[in-house]
Structure 1
């Protein structure tokens, strides 16, 4: 039996691609324009097919590096964004963390991981950010658990206080919160110079 490193997302990849809306794309574009240098390298953790987040960033002139553990979603990312680097790896163990980035985004992924893996990933992001680098990720503000509607697996938000405390412990500062048109919450963090 093979291990599903995508935590159920490979099995629902076609359904996910079909229903993924533009929700959040405008917020991520505005964040990048406000916070990052033009043409900066951005790591997209849990990039999916690249639509709409990476596609919007590439359209604005950024270089986007994609990580996703689903072979089908990475294949779609490569088709949608030819020339952009992409790897089929788990977020917490990706080889892309062997370099640094001006920006990192993780939209709709952090809360899909277990609590220890969330902390591991946040630590890896802190190490991969350049000084003054920016990190944007989505998760509910309250600590809570629910079942993902597509995979049926448990999702967990550590909550704003726990995320802020861990970010501080790994050398990042929680800078701001944003909400998109779907009422999804986003955390903004910065790596001090």
Structure 2
């Protein structure tokens, strides 16, 4: 059976005790800044939400209505404990029924590069198609086209590289948005659905 959590179910307890409780962990300031660009009440999707800390917590604190997806049952169980009123599903992002609806924003921190090249390409198009006019996409992936083993899970990881991510964003009918790095050196790509 395929591990749809890309190895995170097997290390979930370690992750939850460490990064899964880091309210001001790496990327928190970026998630806060992104959340401030959306109107209060906007509907957003957190892909690869883990425990919901820090990203979903930040989205909720900004007055946004959050939905979440993660493929690790242990992470989703912890998420439900942390945010009992937030709709969350335990499944792979590529199969999520949440893509049958639309959102004002979709954020994915620390997930994209865990997926196969084909899945990344498909997912970027699905995320773009699920955005309302004016909707915003934000995801992390290394700038360079590289492959490596994830430090926590030892699973294969891959970045398609900045040129491919920009091409995928633009061919998904999104305007290419700002790119930047957070305090941990994670690179962010963004796109906006024209209004």
TM-score normalised over the length of structure 1: 0.96
Instruction: Report what 1:15 is aligned to.
Output: 14
Is 1:164–1:173's contact at 8 Å kept on the other side of the alignment? no
Instruction: Report what 1:4 is aligned to.
Output: 3
Is 2:42–2:64's contact at 8 Å kept on the other side of the alignment? yes
Is 2:109–2:139's contact at 8 Å kept on the other side of the alignment? yes
Q: 2:134 & 2:111 partners in 1: Cα distance?
A: 23
Q: State the superposition RMSD in angstroms.
A: 1.0
Instruction: Report what 1:31 is aligned to.
Output: 34
Q: 2:180 & 2:44 partners in 1: Cα distance?
A: 19
Instruction: Report what 1:144 is aligned to.
Output: 146
Shift >2 Å, 4+ stretches:
none
The residue matched to 2:179 in structure 1 has which SS?
strand
Q: Structure 2: where are the runs of 5+ without partners?
A: none
Residues 36-185 of structure 1: matches in 2 within 5 Å? 36-185=38-187
Q: Structure 1: where are the runs of 5+ without partners?
A: none
**CA apart distance, 1:19:** 2.1
Is 1:138–1:185's contact at 8 Å kept on the other side of the alignment? yes
**Structure 1 residues 124-160: Cα deviation after superposition (integer angstroms, max 9, x where no partner):** 1011100110001011111111110111011101111
**CA apart distance, 1:3:** 3.3
